[in-house]
Amino acid sequence: MLPIDAAAHSCRWRRRHPVDKAVLGLGLTLLAISLPPWPGAALVLLTALTVLLGPAGVPPRRLWRAYRVPLGFCATGAVTLLVQVGGPDGLVSLADGGPLRAGELMLRTSAASLGVLLFAFTTPMSDLLPRLVRAGVPAPVVDVALVTYRMSFLLLDSVRRIRQAQAARLGHTGRAAEWRSLAGLGATAFVRAFDRAARLQTGLAGRGYDGTLRVLVPEARISVRFTVLSAGLLLALVALTLVLEGPLS
């Protein structure tokens, strides 16, 4: 199981309905991309970080390990705004207003990423996917997503075991050995994936599969109190941004 999935299954909000957490997490994401970067996105970033480390109870180390990947993409996109190609100053030169635009983009994207991570760290996919059918998503689409989600963990575990076996047989001692091990890893993982898929199809057929996967979903009700508090927090961020925008601009 991936660290973010393990954290989602053990977080304090594990038993809450996905709608409750979607209102808060995805609401923060929408505010991050719609409010002014300063101070709006900065306030969203601080709020999401506080909720993740506080009420949601996400371990800081796990949060950083998951956050550093999108943060790297945010930084890469922001750096491109610092320079311009061509023009009177040469082939590559510092863009006018580049640092300001780069900082604004960094604030927006990093805050939006934290909003998405808030939802991901508190909502296991096994709780979310089966409920999508009630939201109008076609059942076959949900079934494919659910099977892919579960099979991915088996495939990752197989890849890890193959890598360990290759390392025990000195398969990573040199560049040539690394390439041979990588080729063998890809071939073995490909064959195992098809073998697992064939066995899954045979097992479903033997159990009278009629086109719908029926899984047990933990009972949960939408909390009106939690949803109202989340909406109030979002409105408070909007109001605070409008109040502070003028003096801080």
Q: What is the chain written as a DSSP string?
A: --HHHHHHHHSTTTTS-HHHHHHHHHHHHHHHHHS-IIIIIHHHHHHHHHHHHTTS---HHHHHHHHHHHHHHHHHHHHTTSEEESSTT-SEEEPTTHHHHHHHHHHHHHHHHHHHHHHHHH--HHHHGGGGTTTT--HHHHHHHHHHHHHHHHHHHHHHHHHHHHHHTTTTSSHHHHHHHHHHHHHHHHHHHHHHHHHHHHHHHHTT--S------------HHHHHHHHHHHHHHHHHHHHHHHHH-
Q: Where are the domains of the chain?
A: 3-123+221-248, 131-206
Report residue 141 as tokens.
């689409």
Q: Regarding predicted confidence, which is higher, 238 or 127?
A: 238
Q: What is the pLDDT of residues 42-76, one digit of tens each?
A: 899 999 999 988 888 888 888 888 888 888 888 88
- What pLDDT is recorded for position 235? 92
Average pLDDT (69-89) is 81
Q: What is the pLDDT of residues 122-145, one digit of tens each?
A: 888 777 877 777 777 777 787 788
Give me the chain's average pLDDT, please.
Answer: 82
Backbone dihedral angles phi then psi of residue 83, each to the nearest 5 degrees: -125, 160
d(CA 149, CA 129): 10
| Pick from 48-62, 89-103, 165-179, 234-248: least confident | 89-103
Report residue 63 as tokens.
């949060």
- What pLDDT is recorded for position 89? 66
Q: Which of 111-115, 138-142, 218-222 has the highest mean pLDDT?
A: 111-115
Tell me the CA end-to-end span of the chain in Å, nearest whole number.
45
- Whether 237 has a pLDDT exceeding 70, the answer reads yes
- What pLDDT is recorded for position 211? 64
Chain-centre distance of CA 183, in angstroms?
29
How many CA atoms are closer than 13 Å to the CA of 132, on its beta-carbon side? 16
Q: Pick from 241, 243, 228, 238: which is nearest to 24 by CA?
A: 228
- Whether 160 has a pLDDT exceeding 70, the answer reads yes
- What pLDDT is recorded for position 168? 85
- What pLDDT is recorded for position 202? 81
Average pLDDT (23-34) is 90
Q: Hey, what amino acid is at 31?
A: L
